[in-house]
Amino acid sequence: MAGLTANLAKSSIYMAGVDEAMRQRLLQITGFQLGEMPFRYLGIPIASQKLRISDYTTLLDALSRRVTSWPKATLSYAGKAQLVMSVLQGIECYWMSVLPIPSGVVDRIYSICRSFMWTTPRPPIAWTELCRPRREGGLGLRDLSAWNRALLAKVLWRLQDKQDTLWIRWVHHTYLQQTGVWGWTARHGDSPLLKQILQIRDSILVTAGSPAAAEQLLSEWFQQPRGVARAYDYFRGVRPQQPWVRTVWQSSIQPSHSFTLWLLAHGRLLGSVE
């Protein structure tokens, strides 16, 4: 646009894989400051190497601040579960749609949620059981590792569908070239995101049996509404419905009473949990 110029005091240039001579030339041409990686773009850390757990501090701090602002002592267990489901898991969803989240970060998120949820040092029910849909005996919280894979599976679908975006075109030009997403072999220097997408591709191939069947499976997921939810069920593994679910989660029962019945159904209704 005419009349617009870059503010040199607020602009930085980031480089990776560039020799010193080229680096100095680019700095001279642009007049920008040399920035250091990782830096943040739209709240997400950008780096030329694999992110460390410390690079996820912004996410973990945001969750911790939200938790400490809630009146933990006066909320029922049902209320706490609803807050964890609707607020905490909404915060990390944005990160999980663009980054493979390390297991160490997932464990820390679970620790933050667990310390808010329970008032006892030893929770009466394992967190993995809470991360099951209600129909399967859980509370409907998300299994974050499976949710991360489901969100990244949508990225895999976009790659094989060759959707016309700048990033998709760049990946095809730089990595896929003539091989396509199903013939692509990871290299040592590939990003963790691309390697994680390859792992997801391989796990789907094992189940589907062929690239054509895998493409069909991805299309069935993501060309329809609730595609990520269907992929999530695939990665987490579906269990049979519990026979007591309809009795516990009736709309006519107060949520706090339903939670008590839920503990009773699991054989964990002890005086110590309160």
Segment 127-160, tens digit of pLDDT: 999 999 999 999 999 999 999 999 999 999 998 8
The C-alpha torsion from 95 through 101 and 168 to 184, rounded to 10°, is -170
Tell me which residue of 62, 145, 64, 132 sits closest to 103, measured CA to CA.
145
Q: Which residues pair with 40 in a beta bridge?
A: 45
Residue 274: what pLDDT? 41
237 Cβ partners below 8 Å, 6+ apart? none
pTM score: 0.83
Query: Which segments of 100-191 does DSSP mark as H helices, in order?
Result: 103-117, 127-130, 144-161, 166-171
Share of the chain above pLDDT 90, in %: 37
pLDDT-derived band of residue 265, with 50, 70 and 90 as boundaries? Answer: very high
What's the CA gap between 10 and 234, in Å, rounded?
45
Tokens linked to 126: 């394992």
Q: 71-110: buried (b, 16+ CB within 10 Å) or exposed (e) per residue?
A: eeeebebbebbebbbeebbeebeebbbebbbbeebbebbb
Q: Please tell me whether residue 35 adopts helix, strand or coil conformation.
A: coil
